[in-house]
């Protein structure tokens, strides 16, 4: 475990002080803890820092974060070398995804009140409608000052928060902002998923596990792949109508088509990239929709024009989604009383262990940190 270098004895009593935030901003504690990326050789290490307690200025909201969750991008960032892709994350407070309780609001804030249960939006500046050039730099947790959630307290704007469904715990709600909204956007906003349609999910990680439970709740027919038969058994319990082990069956797309009586799947959440895109296209039905999401196995090759023209297929590039997507998803989650798939919950002091657990690949669904 990496050193808690900046962590000092002064932190004793922080929990007491944080409680005081809830009652009166005037009595706010002076410091709180947050994890940051520090330089380590030519890369980064996670280090706990004690920093001044933020305050909610005019138009801002102070949130006591109770849980965060990891996405693959967070793991990639920590494991990059400095300057790779032209970016330097030194000083970054990581993680886009978190949920907590409003403990103070600044002047002029009418959207939220002290005590409200909220989650972060992935982009602080994509409220609704189409994406534009201002959206990308507002992705949380991808550089210093981008509003990363791996902290005891954060300050943000009301438009960068959503209310969370009543039936979800903070740990469950913390899994929604990136993986949940991405799956929602791919299947519903872009894909217009309908009951009885076939949906292909690749692997059982964060995005795919949300795709599975959303598709099942919508009355669609999810088919999922995995390297693990144990995970496939769990996926069947969660509503998968078909499962294929992609390790044991290299031509898994043939098996997927067979499961649809050779009609093909109507939707794909394409998270694999290099090793999966071509096969996923072969599994696609006429007029099917493929949501281009990730490159877990490496950068995806170009899509041959004929692969879509020949079938009337449609492809959409997905970049998580807007706050409006998040709110629509939450309404669906509430209606169907959906609970996210969580593999393991780590403590706030165990952030490095949570990253290592993602690195070893044995998890299914989401990895959470309770603060």
Ligand X SMILES: NC(=O)c1ccc[n+]([C@@H]2O[C@H](COP(=O)([O-])OP(=O)(O)OC[C@H]3O[C@@H](n4cnc5c(N)ncnc54)[C@H](OP(=O)(O)O)[C@@H]3O)[C@@H](O)[C@H]2O)c1
Which listed range, 46-54, 57-65, 153-161, 199-207, lies at the site for ligand X (CB under 6 A)? 199-207
Residue 202 near ligand X by CB under 6 A? yes
Residue 121 near ligand X by CB under 6 A? no
Which of 144, 174, 92 is closest to 371 using CA atoms?
174
CA distance 222 to 268: 10
Count the Cβ atoms, other than its own, within 10 Å of residue 3. Answer: 12
DSSP letter string, 94-113: --SEEEEEEEEE-TT--S--
CB–CB of 346/321 below 8 Å?
no
Residues from 282 through 321 that contact ligand X (CB under 6 A): 293-297, 318-320
Q: How far is the CB of 227 from ligand X (least distance, A)?
A: 3
Which of 122, 17, 135, 18 is closest to 66 using CA atoms?
18
Which listed range, 130-138, 201-209, 322-330, 339-347, lies at the site for ligand X (CB under 6 A)? 201-209
Based on CB atoms, which residue is closest to ligand X, 91 or 295? 295
Residue 74 near ligand X by CB under 6 A? no
Based on CB atoms, which residue is closest to ligand X, 203 or 222? 203
Residue whose pair of structure tokens reads 């995970």 in the numeric block: 231
Q: Which residues pair with 61 in a beta bridge?
A: 105, 156
Please calculate the CA angle 158-161-167 and round it to the nearest 5 degrees: 130
Residue whose pair of structure tokens reads 């593999």 in the numeric block: 343
Q: How far is the CB of 181 from ligand X (least distance, A)?
A: 8
Phi/psi-derived region of residue 124, left when phi > 0, alpha when psi is between -120 and 50, beta in every other case: alpha
Residue with the shortest CB distance to ligand X: 205
Residues from 342 through 361 that contact ligand X (CB under 6 A): 361
Residue 182 near ligand X by CB under 6 A? yes
Q: How far is the CB of 310 from ligand X (least distance, A)?
A: 24
Q: How far is the CB of 138 from ligand X (least distance, A)?
A: 14
Residues from 204 through 223 that contact ligand X (CB under 6 A): 204-208
Which of 174, 146, 149, 135 is closest to 317 using CA atoms?
135
The binder of ligand X chosen from 231, 267, 289, 323 (CB under 6 A): 231
Using DSSP's 3-state secondary structure scheme, residue 162 falls into strand
Q: How far is the CB of 254 from ligand X (least distance, A)?
A: 15
Q: How far is the CB of 29 from ligand X (least distance, A)?
A: 34
DSSP letter string, 329-343: HHHHHHHTT----EE
Q: How far is the CB of 320 from ligand X (least distance, A)?
A: 4
Residue 253 near ligand X by CB under 6 A? no
Estimate the share of the chain in helix, then strand, then coil, as percent rounded to the nearest 5. 30, 25, 45
- Write the binding mask 141 to 180 for ligand X: x where contact by CB under 6 A, - elsewhere: -------------------------------------xx-
Based on CB atoms, which residue is closest to ligand X, 273 or 288? 273
Q: How far is the CB of 286 from ligand X (least distance, A)?
A: 24
Which of 343, 203, 355 is closest to 273 using CA atoms?
203
Residue 271 near ligand X by CB under 6 A? yes
Give the interface with ligand X as residue ranges (CB under 6 A): 71-73, 178-179, 182, 202-208, 225-228, 231, 246, 271-272, 275-276, 293-297, 318-320, 361
């Amino acid at each position: 475990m990496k050193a808690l270098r900046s962590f000092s004895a002064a932190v004793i009593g922080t929990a007491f002080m944080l409680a005081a935030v809830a009652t009166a901003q005037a009595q706010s504690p002076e410091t709180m803890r947050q994890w940051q990326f520090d330089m380590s050789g030519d890369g980064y290490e996670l280090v706990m820092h004690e920093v001044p307690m933020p305050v909610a200025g005019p138009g801002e909201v102070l949130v006591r974060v109770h849980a965060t969750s990891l996405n693959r991008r967070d793991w990639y960032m920590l494991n990059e070398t400095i300057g790779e892709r032209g970016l330097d994350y030194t000083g970054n407070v990581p993680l886009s995804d978190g949920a907590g309780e409003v403990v103070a609001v600044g002047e002029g804030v009418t959207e939220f009140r002290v005590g409200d249960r909220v989650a972060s939006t992935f982009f602080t500046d994509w409220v609704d409608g189409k994406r534009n050039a201002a959206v990308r730099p507002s992705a949380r947790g991808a550089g210093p000052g981008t509003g990363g959630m791996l902290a005891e307290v954060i300050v943000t704007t009301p438009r960068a928060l959503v209310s969370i469904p009543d039936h979800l715990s903070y740990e469950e709600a913390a899994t929604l902002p990136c993986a949940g909204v991405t799956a929602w956007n791919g299947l519903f906003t872009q894909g217009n998923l309908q009951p009885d349609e076939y949906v292909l999910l690749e692997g059982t990680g964060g995005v795919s596990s949300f795709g599975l439970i959303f598709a099942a709740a919508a009355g669609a027919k999810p088919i999922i792949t995995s390297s693990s038969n144990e995970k496939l058994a769990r996926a069947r319990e969660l509503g998968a109508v078909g499962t294929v082990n992609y390790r044991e069956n290299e031509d898994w797309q043939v098996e997927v088509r067979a499961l649809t009586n050779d009609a093909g799947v109507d939707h794909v959440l394409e998270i694999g990239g290099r090793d999966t895109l071509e096969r996923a296209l072969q599994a696609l039905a006429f007029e099917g929709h493929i949501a281009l999401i990730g490159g877990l196995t490496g950068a995806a090759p170009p899509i041959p024009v004929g692969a879509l023209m020949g079938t009337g297929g449609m492809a959409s590039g997905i970049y998580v989604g807007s706050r409006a997507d998040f709110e629509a998803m939450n309404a669906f989650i509430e209606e169907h009383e959906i609970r996210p798939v969580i593999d393991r919950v780590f403590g706030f002091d165990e952030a490095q262990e949570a990253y290592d657990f993602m690195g070893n690949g044995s998890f299914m669904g989401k990895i959470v940190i309770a603060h």
